[in-house]
């Protein structure tokens, strides 16, 4: 089971290895592809919190469209996120109707798009 602290450590270490300083607005994540756990969502909500004016954090999840594809679930999300970056478009979250109460407390600056955004 993934843990909040393990995911936070992974995100911080990966960002640092990429030369990013997530305390700076220009280096913070702008889009992430969720993979069924609210843990990462909670961390990104914390990470993007209380930094004054900030751009929204766009959240996507391909699982709502393709279902859980077991061993390839992560690959489907990675492909969707990669295509979003390549084309400079935040894809819509098809079939999204209601925000989960588990995620709602961390949603202040997050956006779940219903239409593609450039």
What is each CA distance from 39 to 19, 22, 42, 118, in whole angstroms?
A: 24, 18, 5, 27
Instruction: Please indicate, yes or no, if residue 116 is contained in any of the structural domains.
Output: no
Q: Mean per-residue pLDDT for 5-22?
A: 87
DSSP H helical segments within the chain, as ranges? 4-17, 38-47, 63-66, 73-87
Question: Which residue's structure tokens are 């077991």?
Answer: 70
The three-point CA angle 29-23-56 to 5° equals 40
Distance of CA 117 to the CA centre of its chain: 15
Residues composing the chain? 118
pLDDT at 37 over 60: no
Query: Domain count of the chain?
Result: 1
Q: What confidence score (pLDDT) does residue 110 get?
A: 80
The model's pLDDT over 75-104, given as tens digits with 9 standing for 90+, comes to 888 888 899 889 999 988 888 888 878 777
Instruction: Please indicate, yes or no, if residue 82 is contained in any of the structural domains.
Output: yes
Q: Mean per-residue pLDDT for 4-8?
A: 77
Instruction: Please indicate, yes or no, if residue 47 is contained in any of the structural domains.
Output: yes
Instruction: Please indicate, yes or no, if residue 26 is contained in any of the structural domains.
Output: yes
Put residue 65 in one of left, alpha, beta given phi > 0 → left and psi -120 to 50 → alpha. alpha
Q: What confidence score (pLDDT) does residue 39 get?
A: 47
The model's pLDDT over 15-24, given as tens digits with 9 standing for 90+, comes to 999 999 888 8
Q: What confidence score (pLDDT) does residue 17 get?
A: 96
CATH number reported for the structural domain that contains residue 58 in this entry = 3.40.47.10
Residue-number span of the structural domain to which 11 is assigned: 4-111
């Amino acid at each position: 089971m993934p843990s909040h602290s393990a995911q936070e450590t992974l995100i911080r270490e990966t960002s640092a290895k990429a030369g990013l300083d997530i305390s700076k607005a220009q280096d913070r994540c702008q889009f992430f592809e969720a993979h069924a756990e609210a843990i990462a969502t909670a961390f990104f909500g914390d990470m993007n919190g209380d930094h004054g004016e900030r751009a929204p954090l766009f959240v996507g999840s391909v699982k709502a469209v393709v279902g859980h594809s077991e061993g390839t679930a992560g690959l489907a999300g990675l492909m969707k996120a990669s295509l979003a970056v390549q084309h400079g478009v935040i894809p819509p979250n098809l079939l999204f109707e209601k925000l989960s109460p588990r995620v709602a407390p961390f949603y202040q600056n997050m956006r779940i798009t219903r239409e593609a955004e450039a």
